[in-house]
Amino acid sequence: MPLALNNLKATGKGGLAFRMSLFILTSAACIFIAAFGYSYYYSRNQILADVKKNAEIITIATVSKIEIVLNGVEKVPSYLARSLGSSKPALPELQKQIIDLLQTNPEIFGSAVAYEPYAFDAKSMYSAPYICRGKYGGLVPSFLGSDEYQYFFLDWYQIPKELGKPVWSEPYFDEGAGNIMMSTYSVPFYNFKGGKQVFTGIVTADISLEWLMETIKKISSHQSSYSFLISRNGVFVSHPNKDYIMRESIFSIAEANNDPSLREIGRDMVRGGKGFVTVNSYFAGQKAWMYYAPLPSLGWSIGVVFPEDKLFASIGKLGAIIMAIGGAGFLALLVVIIAISGTITKPLRVLADKAGEIARGNLEVEVPTVRSHDEVAALSNSFQNMKVALKEYISNLAETTAAKERIESELKIAHTIQMSFLPKRFPPFPEKEEFEIFAALEPAKEVGGDLYDFFLIDEEHVFFSIGDVSGKGVPAALFMAVTKTLMKGICSQAVFPSMALETVNQELCKDNDSSMFVTVFCGILNFKTGELLFANAGHNLPVLISAGGEISWLESPPGFLLGIMEDAEFETSRMILTPGDTLFLYTDGVTEAMNLQQEFFSDPILLETIAKCPDQRTPETIIDCVMKAVKAFTGEEPQSDDITMLALHYRGKGAGKGIH
């Protein structure tokens, strides 16, 4: 046990052993609880079914026993009533018949023949001989009827008279005759006078409810259960609580406790129904189950109540025993699981510690050797291999890092050299008031393949160009440097731009094993006359901004790419610029800039952006406006291509400084 606890303590709450123990115990607990719950549910239902079945059997047997007695009781007064309908015996003979009736039927407590007033004796209003059993078993004769006991107004007389059929009365305490709790079976009899049936009187047979109560008490099949009897009106005839007898009904209790379910049960009982239902604690003293069945002859109903805690006491004891055994089993299982998981995870903990040393840079730490042939051994071997691989990797990484730093340093130098190829002093020709020019290049990488250039050919002509080399990075930068050098050397001697492009193309095609190419747009402007000669080698069409603010594409033959076909020919176009006109040249890094939704900046957006620029006659303002629009459009999306722009504004001959 201490070893198991030490294992668990060593792993901690987040340890594998702890989680394994927790997972296994939780799973086992869920299975145990599910099995215990099902067992409890099944046992509970089985007990209820058995109780219902036993209660039903005993109750039906008791009902059958009572019915046999009551049926026998009913036949006796019915026979006497039929005989009195055809004869009128003298009083001694009538009393003898009643005595014979009681002697042959011990279940009957007493019997009377009650005549209508003056029907037996014309001089007497009361004629009702009654004989009942005395305290010591003897028969005691008496006569019913007096000014205090006018029997012909009582229920046992009036109801069968009005209904014209035999009736069992509600239970009552008979004062003045039997002086006991009883119920009376009353049978009307008739005489014929003048061919008409005339009601003459009632023959009764009384049964003692003490006998019925004792019979009902024997129904209980469980020592904690009890039974009761209610009349057809729901009044308690028999109940362990004597305060209920003849004073309360099942409906009065339901009303007092505002219990619709008990009221509905009472209705079903007085209607002759039967069932097995739950009743609330106020009715039975505690939560309980009740089986009820009818007593057909009397129209009454019997109920048998089973307290729930007594009913399921055996399940509770069994559950406590199972829980105790289960708890002991869980404790033993916990010890075993912790011990086993600790043994399994100990090598893992050691490996975790060694991995921490390795993570802190100690690659000389010794990885333990696991002699088992399981996953832990495989993991240990993997750690050993990882340590060796890390040593090699760190060594290679150091070399790679040094090489990368050298390359980055060289790229920075290359960037500086590349930018030095491009004109970067603005304004470039401050003494020339006829035109103004501005350009900008922003590479996608340290070095790029875009280019621009401009220079004075003589005192009247300025050459300008813009280009875009295929690809990016160092190869494109080298090809760009070659192209720019050739353009400057050849175009300074060329009369027409097309001739310059053809010569440059032939030079680029020589020994171009990498099949790289470049698009170029170039022009020669006579800034004295405004004449513009230009040629296009597969480049984007420039934008012409007229002095009146109209924006359009500068149409020119597309031409072919430089560096692909030596015999490619190009065409020179000509136009006259009006003072105030502006040319805007750019590479596809502008129109093909993409945002996060992979949408292009596009030609239409470029024209809209230029149209919205605050000053369309200042080249620097136009380029700055377009650059900001491209950056705003792309947002967080990385730049995918070099962005290059060149703008030339023509003021015309004789323009002064500051005059646009």
Q: Distance (Å, rounded) from C-alpha 491 to C-alpha 520?
A: 13
* C-alpha–C-alpha distance, residues 577 and 524, integer Å: 12
Band (659; pLDDT cuts 50, 70, 90) = very low
CB contact at 8 A, 590 and 645: yes
The tokens describing 450, both together, are 């875009």
Q: What is the pLDDT of residue 390?
A: 76
The single residue listed with the structure tokens 């359009």 is 552
Q: What percent of the chain has pLDDT over 70?
A: 84
Q: Would you say residue 657 has pLDDT above 50?
A: no
Edge-to-edge strand order for the sheet containing 226-230? Answer: 236-238, 226-230, 300-307, 288-295, 275-279
Interatomic CA distance for residues 549 and 218, integer angstroms: 118
What is the mean predicted confidence (pLDDT) over 48-56? 74
**Rounded mean pLDDT of the chain?**
83
How confident is the model at residue 590, as a pLDDT? 94
Query: In this predicted structure, what is the pLDDT of residue 332?
Result: 79
pLDDT in tens, 3-24: 555 555 555 555 666 676 677 7
Picking from 544, 517, 527, the residue whose alpha carbon sits closest to that of residue 607 is 544
Report whether 389 contacts 452 (CB < 8 A).
no
Give the lowest-confidence range in 124-133, 302-311, 314-323, 418-427.
Answer: 314-323
| Residue 473 confidence class, pLDDT cut points 50, 70, 90 | confident
How do residues 379-433 score in pLDDT, each as one tens digit? 767 777 776 777 777 778 777 777 776 766 555 666 666 667 788 888 999 999 9
Positive or negative, the CA dihedral 411, 416, 421, 427 is: positive
Helix (H) or strand (E) holding 303: strand 300-307
Nearest Cα residue to 315 out of 36, 49, 54: 36
pLDDT value at position 166?
A: 94
Percent of the chain with pLDDT over 90: 32
The pLDDT confidence band at residue 658, using thresholds 50, 70 and 90, is very low
Of the listed ranges 360-369, 517-526, 561-570, the least confidently predicted one is 360-369
What value does the mean pLDDT take over residues 629-657?
Answer: 86
* pLDDT (mean) for 560-579: 93
Average pLDDT in the 606-617 region? Answer: 89
Q: What is the pLDDT of residue 85?
A: 83
Residue 287, pLDDT score: 78
- Domains by residue range for the chain, with CATH: 85-211 (3.30.450.20), 220-311 (3.30.450.20), 423-650 (3.60.40.10)
